[in-house]
Every structure is written in C-alpha cells, then in structure tokens.
Amino acid sequence: MMDQLIASFTQQMAEAIEIGRGMKLSPRHKDIKNVVVAGMGGSGIGGNLVAELISEKMKLPFAVCKDYFLPEWVDEHTLVIASSYSGNTEETLHALEEAIRRGCKIVCVSSGGSMISLAKKAGLDYVIIPGGKPPRGCLAYSFIQQLFILAHYNLIDEGFVVGIEQAIDHLNKEEKRIVKQAKSLAKKLNKKIPVIYSAASYEAVAIRWRQQFNENSKMLCWHHAIPEMNHNELVGWRTPGKYAVIFLRNETDYSRTQQRMNIAKNIITQYTKHIYEVWSKGDSYLERALYLIHFGDWVSYHLAELRKVDPVEVNVIDFLKAELAN
C-alpha cells in the first residue's frame, strides 16, 4: 500500500489542485496580520514545507504550531489553519478550540472526524480531503490546500499553481530514475543510523526524510540544518559508529552554505566512511523540494523492505493513543 501511495504522489498533487480550486471560504472578518498552521506528524509537515515555500513571497509572519497550545500573540487578526488528516488529532483539536475562543479566522483541513464535526458546529470554514490513508502518505493534499487558503485571502498570489503543475511534470519524467537511485541508497543505509543534513532553507525536506525513516522504515535517525549544525552538532562528531550521513544538496544553496557542507563532510569522514549526497533536480524551489521529498519517501520504503517491516504499521502510536484515552 505504501509503495502505491508514494507512486501516486503526483496524482495526489493534481487532485489537490482541483480540490483547492473548488474550495469555498468565507471572507476574512478582520485584517489578517499573521498566520499559524496547527498540525502534527504527517499533517504538520505540510506547514513546515509551506513556511519555506512562502518565505520570500509572504510579508506576514507565518508559524507552525505542533503542540496543544497556540502562541500568546495569536488573536482575532490571526489566520489559523488547523490541519489534521484524520480529524481526531488530540493536540490539533485542543489548539483549534483555543483558536475559536480567541476569535481567530479559522480554516480546517481534514478528511473528517471530530475536526469537521466541530467546524460545522462552530460555523467554521473547512476543506475536505480524501481519507482512509496514512497521513504521511497524503502530504500533497495538506500543503497544497494551505497554499490555496493563503491565496484566497490574498496573502500570496496564485502563481504556485503553475509551479505545482510544473513539479508534477518534472517528477513524472524523473520517476523511474528516482526509484532506482532511491533503492540503491537504501541498500547503503541498511543496518546503519541515518543522519540527514540540509541547508536551512530546505530543513522541512530533512524533517520529512527523518519522519519517513521513523514511520515507514521503523528506525531511529536524526537531522540538522546548516549553518546551525556547524555551531554545535559538528563538535559532537568524536566517536566512530554505524552512521550513514546523507547531505541533501541543491546547486542553488548559498555559496557559503555549500562551503560549510563540504568542510563538514571532510570532518565527518574521520568517523564514518558512509557519506552520501543527494542532489535535487528542478528549475524552481518547489520542484527541487518536492524532488527531494519524493526521493526520500522512496528511500524509506525500500529500507522498510530491506528491514522486513511493514511501512504502514504504526502500532506503537496506536498504543500511545489508547493509553492516553484511558
């Protein structure tokens, strides 16, 4: 199932565009001065990606909340996008209720559940996305709806639609090559501890890789962003181990960042010989970011195969939720 979900990534993007074009939202009740996306896990990562996509396009502050509580500055001038694929995410529902109490402008993005029930009861705007799948397998739906919501309120222009369509064409052309290279990299990462590094402007991509390794491949790993990594974690490289380091790279990364990556790579080579680079392809930030995300999704799937684990199963999360319910 997970391989089918990953393979259908561009189909989901195309479908998400149609959903976005058909969404009907009420006018904003007051001037919007900032935006918060509330979401966890596979739903929350969409907010991280959008934050980086719009960083040079939207002039208002944009924050991602992955907790029960909203920042204190959130008020009636805040647009809150509550994103929960299942509609039953405890933390996001708590943040949503807080947003209602504070009089925020709210749009919910979900496949159903308690979130949509609450939205209907409170008279909130909501966007329904297709349900019944693992949230992490539906990234396209969540982040694209967020972009349409921002465009609806004139916080960004609708140029992103053309960008997504171009990214769809780009990924479709690269699909066979991505799958082949991802399978090769997975073999090199098997039985090792992955460490993922990216430029700061692509940290959402690194987070996505980490989360997919955690949930699909059932393995621990960590990530960091450069240049910040150079100011702390670099010092921690002192002991050899079963590490496999992946640098996510772009030809457009800032020149000083690229220098930092090269120097860091040379330093880390003293502690592991398993250092790999994945270079993005694409003519825009969106194409490059989605290329790397799709590549990482396939790596995580092939790692699951090598480790003989079910990439869909998340029993420990289900256990945690059941314990919390008790």
- 234 alpha carbon, distance to own chain's centre: 25
From CA 190, how far away is CA 194, in angstroms rounded? 9
From the candidates 121, 231, 242, 308, which is the catalytic residue?
A: 231
- Closest by CA to 52, choosing from 295, 290, 298, is 290
Q: What are phi and psi of 310, to 5 degrees?
A: -80, 115
Catalytic status, residue 281: no
**282 phi/psi in degrees, rounded to 5:** 145, 160
Under a CB-based contact definition with an 8 Å cutoff, are residues 63 and 95 in contact? no
Does residue 277 have an active-site annotation? no
DSSP category for residue 112: S
Identity at 278, one-letter amino acid code: V
Catalytic residue chosen out of the listed positions 94, 192, 265, 321: 321
104: region left, alpha or beta (phi > 0 left; psi from -120 to 50 alpha): beta
CA atoms within 13 A on the CB side of 304: 22
* Peptide bond before residue 227 is cis, with ω within 30 degrees of 0: yes
- Which is the catalytic residue, given 215, 223, 287, 294? 215
Measured N-to-C along each axis, helices 159-189 and 9-22 cross at an angle, to the nearest 10 degrees, of 150
215 is catalytic: yes
Give me 175's structure tokens: 């699909």
Catalytic residue numbers, as ranges: 215, 231, 321
